[in-house]
Structure 1
Amino acid sequence: MKLIQRIEYINRLLSVVGTPDIKVITGIRRSGKSKLMDMFMERLKKENRKANVIHVNFNDPKSEPLAEYHALYDFVQKKYKQNVPNFVFIDEVQMCKGFEKAINGLHATEKFDIYITGSNAFLLSSDLSTLFTGRTFAIEMFPFSFVEFMRYYELTDIQGALDRYLKGGGMAGSYVYNNSTDKYKYIKDVFDTLVLRDIVKKYNIRNKVLLERLCDFLSDNISNITSLRSISDALTSSKVPVNDKTIGSYAGYLCNAFAFYKVRKYDIRGKKYLASQDKYYLGDHSFKYARLGTKNMDYGRAYENIVAIELLRRGYEIYAGFLYKKEIDFVALKKDEKIYIQVSDDISTESTFDREVSPLLKIHDAYPKMVIARTKHEPYQYEGIRIVDLAEWLSNRSIQ
């Protein structure tokens, strides 16, 4: 399989080399965590030929004798070298029974710079402070961005590339297949493994049918405001008996595993978060097509999902904004920065243009406002609102 350098993730790892943190690479299954670790190790070896790089990959049968924490701890300790930087890389760490004891023990020696990856369902961000006594630094990996997709396929026409990315998505493992049927089969298998094996195993879920139905419902309703009650009612009407509490638990499991991202409502006028209803976005938009097909394409929702994941990839917190019963797709926050964003497929008609800009015009603070759509034109301003082409925005981080 062709590999490309995932530059932004490597730079983030380089920025924390030598810190006492336990570095944890997280993210959805098959997002490239192991490949990133391999690339980063090669980078370290090139930059410091004296560095002692200790690597354990539990996907390799040769590592089976280390799949118990005493053995892992002893193995790494024996590999230590004095007077040089010592790096420890452990891939699929959850396959070692009691791995947290080994990692905590190695970290306590203050001799090693430690990096680990693991199954997203068994190494959750919410679990890190419980598992490890030392401070952790988590780097969340996402599927390929639009820019990485273009780099992989060596594309230069951004509009044509976006048409391909819309259908193909960011799961790079599917790129080796030549036809869409095989691509979507791979993507569906990844998602099913994520749901049926990882989540079911971790949480001991008995009602697998309900979990699958919930996945299909959320996939079919990406970007829609949804409540636990509405989901429960919809599934009950489909003869799947369920209650709000179970739906809430299952949805939480799916978000913990990065299959979906939950976005809370934010009252712009009252400046408060609303807990009763949320939006859900898929970790990669291609999962919807792989599970539900492409016959009923809703481009607007797909584009909104792509923008949601790209905002998260760029380090923003995102919320669904509401003002005077009008919805703003995203309130994006990062430190002191705030941006109000509307996403649309087509704003070429006066009615659709007015529909997208009118909620933004009602916001009277000084923060930037933007409409991202398939304009296929250069960015322009409309009464203080920046109108930006989607492909241009995805391919250029400087456009705000």
Structure 2
Amino acid sequence: MKNVISQLIDDFHERKLPDPAPRDKQFAEVEGKADVVIGMRRSGKTWFCYQKIIELMASGIKKEAILYLNFEDDRLLAFKVSNFQEILDVYFAKYPEHRKARCYFFFDEIQRIDSWEMFIRRLLDTENVQVFITGSSSKLLSSEIATSLRGRSLTTEIFPFSFMEYLKFHELFPDRPKTFGANTVSQLRKAVKDYLERGGFPEIQKLDRDLRIEVLQGYIDSVLLKDIIERHKVSNIQVLKYLVRHIMNSSGGRFSVNKFFNTMKSISIKCTKNSLYEYLDHLTDAFLFYKVPIHSRSERSRLINPPKIYTIDTGILNAMTFRNSYNYGQLLETMVFMHLRRRGYDVEYVHTKDGREADFLARHGISGETQLIQACWEMSDKKTFERELQGLTSAMDEHSFSTGTIVTWDDETTIENRINVIPIWKWLLQK
């Protein structure tokens, strides 16, 4: 294994780094703490690390003071926890002068190696190293870190491109527009339509439609195989795929394990409720789906009311499901949810006492700011818009909100001086 590690270190130091699309996020970099980067496969975690490596080199850090290893490299398939020490042995044998200098170690998809967190803890305690870790598992936040890295890590979640990052990538707007004249608005309308269709995964941005769909479908296969089937030893692959297809076709809707179990039973497909709960946990752990619980102070109410489930990206939804005018509202709602998630909001849905519903009660995890937001495709659909408006106003009255927001595709107005109706292309650009 030492020869393999030596070869990988040399390869990294010899090769030219790609020029990554800049992301709006930044590493926290607190001495004595590991920087942990999490997110779905292909969302840009590796390139986010490359961005940091390039910044380090631009600041005068020699490339030899930086170590990068991707644990999904096929040459590391035989790597075990006992081989971690060999990384240090090989690296410092090559560069003994760095024993006394600050070094920067990047470990990509490290969760593939069992007990990795014990090595990272020792590294933080014994070496002059800033550690950067990436992984496609939300358990990097919880159980795995809790054993050895409690209080010793800071987490950054990487998502597919935000709308602003999308605009920058396609060189449409280098910065957030300050005015919304006719020319700017027409460009933004076209851009958000393309963003809705294409989604935000970096790799597929310049691919034609057929190839884009094929690549995005490949992402799902990769998540299912590597992050769920192999990692959790899932054997009932048929049910897992049915579950993914079902959630995507009703993305943003409430999901009941009991109802899905009965559906499987009705078509003579065997599974257990416990396995369905486990599969759903695995899918959210891999960042393919996000659960949104009902807003309630009662833990019992939160347990008995099924969560809403959102898919990470509209491009994924378009690649995996058939779209028509009926469910464009689902795509809009998904865009709103993911924008709130990117900005650090904890999100719940509201079911009012009079039986109405508001899509999002969002509370910022740091500032504590709260918002009530409804997503509605267009005001011209009078019946639908009236239902969404009543749901929002009922939630505002019940939870004492003086203002609320309705995000639409292209409508903009103010209702009763307390409800702001705003088009998605403008709302996504608000600070």
Q: TM-score when scaled to structure 2? A: 0.82
- Tell me the equivalent position of 2:145: 128
Equivalent residues of 2:39, 2:138 under 8 A apart? no
Which amino acid is the alignment partner of residue 408 of structure 2?
A: A
More divergent stretch after superposition (152-161 vs 275-284): 152-161
More divergent stretch after superposition (320-329 vs 17-26): 17-26
Give me the whole-angstrom Cα distance separating, in 2, the residues matched to 1:96 and 1:332: 36
Give me the whole-angstrom Cα distance separating, in 1, the residues matched to 2:91 and 2:137: 24
SS of the equivalent of 1:173 reads helix
> Judging changes above 3 Å, is the alpha-carbon distance between structure 1 residues 5 and 44 closer, same or farther for their aligned structure 2 residues?
same
SS of the equivalent of 1:266 reads coil
Matched, 1:275 2:303: yes
Matched, 1:19 2:31: yes
Shift of 1:376: 4.3
- Tell me the equivalent position of 1:357: 389
- Tell me the equivalent position of 2:10: none
Equivalent residues of 2:139, 2:285 under 8 A apart? no
Following superposition of structure 1 onto structure 2, how do residues 27-66 of structure 1 map, counting pairs within 5 Å? 27-49=39-61, 52-58=65-71
Give me the whole-angstrom Cα distance separating, in 2, the residues matched to 1:75 and 1:382: 69
> Judging changes above 3 Å, is the alpha-carbon distance between structure 1 residues 375 and 119 closer, same or farther for their aligned structure 2 residues?
closer
- Tell me the equivalent position of 1:340: 372
Identity %: 24
Matched, 1:145 2:162: yes
1:218 corresponds to which of 233, 247, 254: 247
SS of the equivalent of 2:32 reads coil
2:420 corresponds to which of 382, 386, 389: 386
RMSD (Å) for aligned C-alpha atoms:
2.8
- Tell me the equivalent position of 2:7: none
Which one has a larger percent strand, Structure 1 or Structure 2?
1
Give me the whole-angstrom Cα distance separating, in 2, the residues matched to 1:60 and 1:199: 19
> Judging changes above 3 Å, is the alpha-carbon distance between structure 1 residues 296 and 385 closer, same or farther for their aligned structure 2 residues?
closer
Which amino acid is the alignment partner of residue 4 of structure 1?
A: A
Equivalent residues of 1:159, 1:376 under 8 A apart? no
1:89 corresponds to which of 97, 100, 106: 106
Matched, 1:195 2:212: no
- Tell me the equivalent position of 2:125: 108
1:230-258 Cα shifts (integer Å, max 9, x gaps): 22122323332333222111111100010
> Judging changes above 3 Å, is the alpha-carbon distance between structure 1 residues 256 and 94 closer, same or farther for their aligned structure 2 residues?
closer
Q: TM-score when scaled to structure 1? A: 0.88
Give me the whole-angstrom Cα distance separating, in 1, the residues matched to 2:22 and 2:146: 30
Matched, 1:374 2:409: yes
Q: List gaps (5 residues or longer) in structure 2.
A: 1-17, 174-186
Shift of 1:381: 4.5
SS of the equivalent of 2:200 reads coil
- Tell me the equivalent position of 2:361: 331
Equivalent residues of 2:39, 2:137 under 8 A apart? yes
Equivalent residues of 2:358, 2:391 under 8 A apart? yes
> Judging changes above 3 Å, is the alpha-carbon distance between structure 1 residues 3 and 86 closer, same or farther for their aligned structure 2 residues?
closer
Give me the whole-angstrom Cα distance separating, in 1, the residues matched to 2:148 and 2:293: 28
- Tell me the equivalent position of 1:397: 430
Give me the whole-angstrom Cα distance separating, in 2, the residues matched to 1:353 and 1:147: 28
SS of the equivalent of 1:9 reads coil
Which amino acid is the alignment partner of residue 302 of structure 2?
A: L
Matched, 1:256 2:285: yes
Give me the whole-angstrom Cα distance separating, in 2, the residues matched to 1:264 and 1:351: 27
Matched, 1:312 2:344: no
Give me the whole-angstrom Cα distance separating, in 1, the residues matched to 2:129 and 2:369: 37
Shift of 1:100: 2.9
Give me the whole-angstrom Cα distance separating, in 2, the residues matched to 1:99 and 1:293: 41
More divergent stretch after superposition (239-248 vs 125-134): 125-134
1:42-77 Cα shifts (integer Å, max 9, x gaps): 112222447932333345577789762121233355
